[in-house]
Amino acid sequence: MDPCASSSDVIAALQAEITSLRAALHSVTAASSPPPPCTTTSSPVFRPGRVKIDHMSAEVTDSNPYSRLMALKRMGVVKEYERIRKVSVLIVGLGGVGSVAAEMLTRCGIGKLLLFDYDVVELANMNRLFFRPEHAGLRKTEAAMATLESINPDVCLEGHTYDVTSVPHFEHFLDRLRRGGPDGRSPVHLVLSCVDNYAARTAINQACNEADVAWMESGVSEDAVSGHIQTLFPGRTACFECLPPLLVASGREESTLRREGVCAASLPTTMGIVAGLLVQNALKYLLDFGDLSYYLGYSALTDHFPRHTLWPNPDCGNIWCRRRQETWRGKGRAWHRRETDCREVGEGAGPVHGTNEWGIEVIGREGVDVEGEVGVERGSAGSVQQSGREGTEASLEELAAELSQLQS
């Protein structure tokens, strides 16, 4: 627990512990004796979670937690909803977006969830969804797992409380990406990035490029009124380092983007919406329905949703991104025609509009390379060169010894 937590936080944490212990006691007594008839106690009643269910049933009864989800098949939206039981998703960051995304996937009956966060729940988080005041002081992973398990015991949960950006943890993180599948051997199907900083995003980017795992990134602006989601397929779409950060690309000062001395704002609405967009996109990808969004922005002030596809940068500074691009080069854009929203421009598709009421013409369109469309600024990154300067001949140990001696 945070040593700086105030005594009220400690009390809250202890209260939460009492609640969870009571719940545990309740479930033990409930298991050993026949379930009591519904009693009308006035105190907050904790009902132990339902028993596990082996198979998803489409049976329409009030007691089937999956009936409304399985109805997606009858409605013709999803071909095989049960597939979700075999799917594993890894979520990094259990803040206002990540925790809500985890709850959504849990309620959808996802096979396995791997949760990563190194922080504890604070009362300052209560303007967002999911966590409750009695969770204050608990680790986000622990509090989330307890809640999620009570919502849906069918989901296999795995939690890790550490910072994924540090090198020793990164190795473990990478291993969980590669072997976090439901069978414990295969890779996870998708990673959701729900973090709040650049360093964590680049670490996730690095891991997903290395492990060749698809991921989706999400973000909410500091003023809480805009957000975005992005789908990243290593080698196929732009990775997180393919495009330079805004303040580098624009040459603007960061201070024009951020207000000094003001703590970041957040709204449960924007965060919930972004979590919804993120998980909707994840479900489309995992269960193969609808059109995937590669980049989808959300501006709350104008209700504007810009949507783009971002192609990878051949000069990307990330070596693993370039390797993954190499793998996909020569395979053409076959995957793109199959997977993007641009189905109507695919082979064999007829014109979308039969008439041209307004006489709209496309000028200079002939011969334009598809790749030029997005107008990716080729960054100056990727200049890997050997240092030819004097002194590099010294070994690392010699240099370390020199540094140590100099400072003694």
What's the token pair of residue 104?
């959504």
Q: How far is the CB of 116 from other proteins (least distance, A)?
A: 13
CA distance 199 to 166: 10
Q: How far is the CB of 49 from other proteins (least distance, A)?
A: 27
Residue type (1 letter), 208: C
Does the protein bind other proteins through residue 294 (CB under 8 A)?
no
**Contacts (CB under 8 A) with other proteins, residues 185-204:** 194-199, 201-203
CA distance 265 to 338: 39
Distances, alpha carbon 236 to alpha carbons 11, 111, 214, 323, in Å: 50, 27, 10, 11
Q: Which stretch binds other proteins (CB under 8 A): 23-31, 67-75, 143-151, 396-404?
A: 396-404
Q: For the window 268-287, what string marks contact with other proteins as x by the rule CB under 8 A?
A: ---x----------------
Does the protein bind other proteins through residue 162 (CB under 8 A)?
no
Does the protein bind other proteins through residue 353 (CB under 8 A)?
no
Does the protein bind other proteins through residue 1 (CB under 8 A)?
no
Count of Cβ atoms closer than 10 Å to residue 369 Cβ:
6
Quick one: which of 97, 104, 121, 145 contacts other proteins (CB under 8 A)? 97
Nearer of residues 87 and 208 to other proteins, judged by Cβ: 208
The residue annotated as part of the active site, out of 208, 263, 316, 321, is: 263
Nearer of residues 70 and 94 to other proteins, judged by Cβ: 94
Distances, alpha carbon 64 to alpha carbons 56, 57, 58, 153, in Å: 9, 7, 8, 14
Does the protein bind other proteins through residue 110 (CB under 8 A)?
no
Nearer of residues 104 and 287 to other proteins, judged by Cβ: 104
Does the protein bind other proteins through residue 383 (CB under 8 A)?
yes
**Contacts (CB under 8 A) with other proteins, residues 9-68:** none
CB 69 within 8 A of CB 83: no
In the block, tokens 């039981």 appear at 85
Q: How far is the CB of 59 from other proteins (least distance, A)?
A: 38
Quick one: which of 88, 205, 293, 309 contacts other proteins (CB under 8 A)? 205
Q: How far is the CB of 374 from other proteins (least distance, A)?
A: 17
CA distance 256 to 250: 11
Residue type (1 letter), 144: A
Nearer of residues 109 and 312 to other proteins, judged by Cβ: 312
CA distance 375 to 324: 21
Length of the chain: 408
Rg (CA), the chain: 25
Quick one: which of 317, 323, 336, 374 contacts other proteins (CB under 8 A)? 317
Does the protein bind other proteins through residue 111 (CB under 8 A)?
no
Q: How far is the CB of 104 from other proteins (least distance, A)?
A: 15
The CA-CA-CA angle for residues 270, 266, 91, to 5°, reads 70
Does the protein bind other proteins through residue 95 (CB under 8 A)?
yes
Distances, alpha carbon 162 to alpha carbons 117, 169, 173, 214, in Å: 6, 7, 9, 22
What's the token pair of residue 44?
């907050």
Q: Establish whether 156 is a catalytic residue.
A: no
> Which residues form the catalytic set?
263
